[in-house]
C-alpha cells in the first residue's frame, strides 16, 4: 500500500472539486469526474501497476525533470480524457501526485505539460 501525497496545485483542485460535490454545487460532469478520481487514487495507492490505470513512464517528462514521471489514466476512450501525473517518493511507499491534465490531442502531447515540482523533490535514484 502506498501513501498518496499531493503537490499543492493538485491538492487545491481535488479539495475544491470534493467540496463542490459535498455541498451539491458540482454539475453532473464534475460529479462523475470526482468519482473517477477517487477510484483512480484508490487503485494507485493499492497498486500503481493495476491494469485499469495503464500506468506508464513518460520519458520526455522524466528527462525534463530529471526523475521518473509516470502517467495513469483516470478516464480512457474519452476525448480529452483525464490523466494523473505522479512520481514515486519522497521516501519508501510514497507516491506524489504532480499534476492532473486532460490528455492532449496534438502530435507533441507532453511538451505542454508543466509539473509543479521543487528541485529537491526530484528523485535522484536511477
User: Kind of pairing, strands 70-73 and 56-57?
Assistant: antiparallel
With a pLDDT cut of 70, the percent of the chain lying above it is 82
Task: Render pLDDT for 4-47 as a digit per residue (tens, 0 to 9).
Answer: 999 999 999 999 999 999 999 999 999 999 999 999 999 999 99
Report how many domains make up the chain.
1
Residue 125 has pLDDT above 70, yes or no: no
> How would you list the strands of the sheet with 3-6, edge to edge?
3-6, 94-102, 82-88, 70-73, 56-57
On whether residue 13 sits in a domain, the answer given is yes
**CATH number of residue 40's parent domain:** 3.30.2310.20
Residue 89 has pLDDT above 50, yes or no: yes
On whether residue 38 sits in a domain, the answer given is yes
Task: Render pLDDT for 71-83 as a digit per residue (tens, 0 to 9).
Answer: 999 998 887 889 9
On whether residue 126 sits in a domain, the answer given is no
For residue 46, give its domain range.
Answer: 3-119
Entry pTM: 0.83
Contact 71, 82 (CB under 8 A): no
On whether residue 39 sits in a domain, the answer given is yes
Amino acid at each position: 500500500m502506498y501513501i498518496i501525497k499531493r503537490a499543492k496545485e493538485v491538492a487545491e483542485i481535488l479539495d475544491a472539486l470534493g467540496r463542490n460535490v459535498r455541498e451539491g454545487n458540482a454539475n453532473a460532469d464534475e460529479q462523475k469526474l470526482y468519482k473517477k478520481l477517487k477510484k483512480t487514487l484508490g487503485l494507485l495507492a493499492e497498486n500503481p501497476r493495476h491494469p485499469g490505470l495503464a500506468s506508464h513512464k513518460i520519458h520526455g517528462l522524466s528527462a525534463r525533470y530529471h526523475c521518473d514521471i509516470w502517467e495513469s489514466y483516470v478516464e480512457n476512450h474519452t476525448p480529452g480524457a483525464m490523466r494523473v501525473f505522479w512520481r514515486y517518493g519522497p521516501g519508501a511507499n510514497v507516491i506524489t501526485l504532480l499534476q492532473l491534465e486532460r490528455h492532449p490531442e496534438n502530435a507533441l502531447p507532453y511538451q505542454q505539460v508543466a509539473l509543479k515540482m521543487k528541485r529537491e523533490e526530484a528523485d535522484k535514484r536511477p
